[in-house]
Amino acid sequence: MARIRWVEEAEATGEIAAAYAEWFAANPGRPTIPGILKCLSLRPDFFRDVVRVSDRLHFSDGHLTRRLKEMIATYVSALNQCPY
């Protein structure tokens, strides 16, 4: 159970529903919004900003490829026993 109040996908209306729809369009095949992002749902503007920054930092090629970044993140999450 979450300790931070957030808006579930099925309950989303207005601005956060639109932001969720944008996230799902950019992430086909993902069944739910990750909780680490959903905790920003009470501030749809901030939700969008964090998604935009995250996409640019984590999910684009730069010095490291996206594939390598994902492998490092998976390894670190496993070491920390973190589901993210």
Query: What sign results for the dihedral spanned by CA atoms 23, 15, 43, 10?
Result: negative
The domain segmentation of the chain, as residue ranges, is: 13-79
Q: Is 33 exposed, middle or buried (0-12, 13-18, 19+ CB in 10 A)?
A: buried
Residue 73's pLDDT is 87
The reply to whether the predicted model has a pTM over 0.75 is: yes
pLDDT at position 42, please? 97
**pLDDT values of the chain reduced to their tens digit, one per residue, 84 residues:** 658 899 999 999 999 999 999 999 999 999 999 998 999 999 999 999 999 998 888 778 888 988 898 899 899 999 999 876
